[in-house]
């Protein structure tokens, strides 16, 4: 952990960061086959999210960022450490506890094509979490209408099937489902990665607008540093199952300390040929410098 991150952790009062805390989390996946070696997906993860705050989680594929989101939701096995939500330990919550928890914690997945059951109408999909909490059918229907309005979908969408909608619209449905119970935290697992550029912009706007209106917190997982910078208050960078850097979004995404974050920042191309040429040169210089440092430190490339 870097010095600054430690400082950052110290200055944050526990009340502010109290909504979700993840301490020394370890996730192991069982290997395939008899007596197979376990695969360690996450190692000693420490994060926290306060009310109305967005923590951006950035990293490349296989870095464990999605696993972290799933562990918080109870979809990945917790082998060590603690996850607390509003002070309550939920590392090994039962299905019954999860049902209570689902009022406060929801999810938006990456792929808007497989995250909605193709056989159910939009209205049924949105009413599902309401029904689980025991809401009456008429009240649920009213709430579904509100939700559709909130995410900018026409109210006649209720009786349509997911395949009648484009990717961006489906993602709006998924967001509406997450919002149905007015949760305190939404885990967003690459929610805009599958979307077109202009659609991505609108959906990001929607996320920001919802946060402004409802004060919800986000754990926002993405591989795109630009997306994370845009939407997050704080950013954590993951690399090979560990968090290598964590801090205020502005600092981490503009002036990172960790070599990996530096590489990540310079790898993302900018939409201007001349500035991109400069960035390219910067990146080559950085790679060369890091290579020399590694050589001096005796680390094999």
How do 80-85 and 105-108 pair as beta strands? Answer: unpaired
- Beta carbon nearer to another protein, 3 or 118: 118
197 touches another protein (CB under 8 A)? yes
Closest separation in Å from C-beta 18 to another protein: 22
Tokens of 289: 């410098």
206 touches another protein (CB under 8 A)? yes
- String of contacts with another protein for each residue 56-75, x by CB under 8 A: ----xx--------x--xxx
Tokens of 50: 């306060």
Closest separation in Å from C-beta 70 to another protein: 8
21 touches another protein (CB under 8 A)? no
Closest separation in Å from C-beta 221 to another protein: 14
- Beta carbon nearer to another protein, 14 or 268: 268
Q: Quick one: which segment of 11-19, 43-51, 83-91, 225-233 binds another protein (CB under 8 A)?
A: 225-233
Q: Quick one: which segment of 18-26, 77-85, 94-102, 291-299 binds another protein (CB under 8 A)?
A: 94-102
- Beta carbon nearer to another protein, 198 or 296: 198
- Beta carbon nearer to another protein, 47 or 174: 174
Closest separation in Å from C-beta 12 to another protein: 19
276 touches another protein (CB under 8 A)? yes
- Beta carbon nearer to another protein, 142 or 254: 254
Task: Annotate 187-239 with three-state secondary structure.
Answer: EEECCCCCCCHHHHHHHHHHHHHHHHHHCCEEEEEECCHHHHHHHCCEEEEEE
Calculate the dihedral angle through the C-alpha atoms of 195, 122, 72, 95, rounding to the nearest 10 degrees.
-160
182 touches another protein (CB under 8 A)? no
Please name the helix (run of DSSP H) or strand (run of DSSP E) that holds residue 243, with its range, or none.
strand 242-248
Size of the site for another protein (CB under 8 A): 81
Task: Annotate 13-52 with three-state secondary structure.
Answer: CCCCCCCEEEEEEEEEECCCCCCCCCEEEEEEEEEEECCC
Calculate the dihedral angle through the C-alpha atoms of 198, 176, 147, 169, rounding to the nearest 10 degrees.
40
Calpha distance 57→189 (Å, rounded) = 9
C-alpha distance from residue 169 to each of 114, 115, 146, 228, 288 (Å): 13, 13, 16, 21, 44
- Beta carbon nearer to another protein, 3 or 274: 274
């Amino acid at each position: 952990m870097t010095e600054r991150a430690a400082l950052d952790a110290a200055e944050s009062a526990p009340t502010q960061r109290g909504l979700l805390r993840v301490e020394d989390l370890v996730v192991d996946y069982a290997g395939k086959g008899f007596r197979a070696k376990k695969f360690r997906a996450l190692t000693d993860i420490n994060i926290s999210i306060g009310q109305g705050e967005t923590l951006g989680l950035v990293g490349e594929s296989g870095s464990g960022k999605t696993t972290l989101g799933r562990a918080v939701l109870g979809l990945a096995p917790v082998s060590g450490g603690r996850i607390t939500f509003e002070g309550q330990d939920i590392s090994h919550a039962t299905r019954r506890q999860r049902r209570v928890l689902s009022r406060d914690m929801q999810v938006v997945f990456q792929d808007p094509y497989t995250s909605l059951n193709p056989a159910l109408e939009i209205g049924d999909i949105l009413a599902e979490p309401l029904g689980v909490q025991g809401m009456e059918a008429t009240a649920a229907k009213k709430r579904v209408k509100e939700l559709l309005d909130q995410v900018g979908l026409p109210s006649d969408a209720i009786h349509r099937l997911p395949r009648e909608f484009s990717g961006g619209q489906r993602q709006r449905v998924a967001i509406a489902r997450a919002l149905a119970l007015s949760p305190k935290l939404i885990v967003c697992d690459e929610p805009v990665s599958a979307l077109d550029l202009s659609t991505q912009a609108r959906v990001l706007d929607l996320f920001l607008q919802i946060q402004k209106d409802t004060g919800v917190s986000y754990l926002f997982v993405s591989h795109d540093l630009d997306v994370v910078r845009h939407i997050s208050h704080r950013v954590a960078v993951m690399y090979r199952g560990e968090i290598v850097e964590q801090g205020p979004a502005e600092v981490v995404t503009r002036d990172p300390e960790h070599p990996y974050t530096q590489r990540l920042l310079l790898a993302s191309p900018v939409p201007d040929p001349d500035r991109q040429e400069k960035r390219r040169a910067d990146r080559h210089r950085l790679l060369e410098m890091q290579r020399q440092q590694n050589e001096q430190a005796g680390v094999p490339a």
